[in-house]
Amino acid sequence: MCGIAGYSLSARSALDRTLAAQSLLAGIAERGADAVGYAHRSPAEPYPTVVKQRTPASELLDRIDVPAGATELLVHVRDYTKGHPSIAANNHPVRHGPVIGIHNGIILNDDELLAPFSCARSEPRMTVDSEAIFALAAHSHNDPLALEDLTGSLAAAWMDSRVSGTIFAARGAGRPLWIGAGRHELFFASTRRALEVVEQYAAVKLRKSEVAEGTFLELREARVVRAATFRHDVDYVDPIALPTVRAPEEGVSCLERLAVLAAAA
Phi, psi of 210 (to 5 degrees): -90, 135
Task: Give the pTM.
Answer: 0.97
213-265 per-position pLDDT tens digit: 999 999 999 999 999 999 999 999 888 777 889 999 999 999 999 999 999 98
| Mean pLDDT score across all residues of the chain | 96
Domains of the chain: 3-264 (3.60.20.10)
Question: How many residues are listed for the chain in this entry?
Answer: 265
Cα four-point dihedral sign 208, 214, 134, 56: positive
Contact 102, 76 (CB under 8 A): yes
182-217 per-position pLDDT tens digit: 999 999 999 999 999 999 999 999 999 999 999 999
Angstrom CA distances, 132 to 3, 139, 140, 212, 233, stand at 18, 11, 12, 22, 15
Contact 77, 31 (CB under 8 A): yes
Tell me, rounded to whole angstroms, the distance of Cα 100 from its chain centroid: 10
pLDDT, residue 256, reads: 98
46-97 per-position pLDDT tens digit: 899 999 999 999 999 999 999 999 999 999 999 999 999 999 999 999 999 9
The letter for the amino acid at 4 is I
First to last CA, the chain: 31
The whole-number average pLDDT for the span 27-45 is 96
The whole-number average pLDDT for the span 31-55 is 96
pLDDT, residue 185, reads: 98
Residue 184: strand, helix, or coil: coil
131-166 per-position pLDDT tens digit: 999 999 999 999 999 999 999 999 999 999 999 999
